[in-house]
Amino acid sequence: MGRNGKTSQQKSPFLAARPLLVAFFFFLPIALPGLIGWLNGLLAVPIFLLFQTAADERKTGRLIGNGLLLAGLGSLLLGRFSMFLFTLTMVPLGYSLHQSLARRKSLAEAGGAGVMVLGITWLSFWSAYGILSGTNPYIGLLTDMDAFMEQVVVVYRTSSDLPADVLYSFEQMIAGVRMLLPKILPGLLGGMVLITVCMNMVICRGLLKKLAPEKACWPPYSAWRLPDKVAWLLILAFALLLVGKAGGKNAGTSLLLVSGLLYFFQGVAVVMHTLNRWHLPRAFRLFAYVVLAFQRYGVLLVAIVGLADTWADFRKLDQEDKTE
């Protein structure tokens, strides 16, 4: 009986905990998109953790596939199968991070591979969507964003609470954004890929340290830093802005946004390291983060700190590497 029961359990993988866990996480943002649709951007985390905490990678892959099948069936019942297909784009990122950690790749190598995998996956998904639907998703996104900003102006224009000079300044600002948006949209989309990969890596590392501390080889976020070669991306951006023509300047602006975002991440790590070293209370640290986020030039200041850390080494990471 015990042998038969074991065989029956192996033949019923849908009843196991792992497929149900995968189905839960991938179905939840589909069932409640308005409430927790943001969970779509973090779905690489359960894939990464399941592979990292499993003994058999092939068996885990089959169990994950069963869970995705359950989530897909649920999305069909809700009539939201296209949303489910988009959630699948996070699966390659989770597996890429797992492979990077399994092969003991550095943090920069793992992040670079993750950005490449997610960027190619999203590009392939939207290209296939455009071919099947007969539309251009990029043009559609620009049109929708432009229509949204125009609607915002109409709403504020019909409001009688705003003075005429304030309304005029607001309309001028929106007009400038509408003209600038087509030039910087590639940089914004690239920044979205970077943010998604960074958030997944931070959460993956934190959860893995609790579930399997012996496998968490990546350093904490406060010790993250970019390779020195990233500075060439910023140099190229300024070169295109100075000597490039219309298309070259637009490319330079997008590169400047992407490189600025990278150094912003490093600047946040420097700020976090400094506040931790001072042993400040958590409430004060949270207050400092909020002040930097909402200050007019707070984000720019943090990015400059991150850029300066490349040469100044505020956290003395180079000395620690030499000591080790």
pLDDT tens digits, one per residue of 184-201 = 999 999 999 999 999 999
Read off φ and ψ for residue 226, nearest 5 degrees: -85, 155
What is d(CA 70, CA 72) in angstroms, rounded to the nearest whole number?
Answer: 5
pLDDT at 322: 53
A 10 A CB-CB count for 124 gives: 12
Q: What would the mean pLDDT of 121-143 be, rounded to a whole number? A: 95
pLDDT tens digits, one per residue of 16-53 = 788 999 999 999 999 999 888 899 999 999 999 999 99
Q: What would the mean pLDDT of 164-193 be, rounded to a whole number? A: 90
Q: pTM of whole model > 0.85?
A: yes
Give the pLDDT band of residue 132 (cuts 50, 70, 90): very high
Residue 10 has pLDDT above 90, yes or no: no
pLDDT at 88: 97
State percent of the chain over pLDDT 70.
93
Residue 6 has pLDDT above 50, yes or no: no
Q: What would the mean pLDDT of 64-81 be, rounded to a whole number? A: 95
State percent of the chain over pLDDT 90.
66
HSE on the CB side for 234, CA within 13 Å? 18
Residue 169 has pLDDT above 70, yes or no: yes
Q: What would the mean pLDDT of 107-124 be, rounded to a whole number? A: 96
Residue 264 has pLDDT above 90, yes or no: yes
pLDDT at 294: 83
Nearest to 264 by CA among 230, 296, 301, 229: 301
Residue 7 has pLDDT above 70, yes or no: no
What is the Rg, in whole angstroms, of the alpha carbon atoms belonging to the chain? 23
Give the pLDDT band of residue 5 (cuts 50, 70, 90): very low
Burial (Cβ within 10 Å: 0-12, 13-18, ≥19) of residue 203: middle
Give the three-state DSSP class for 53.
coil
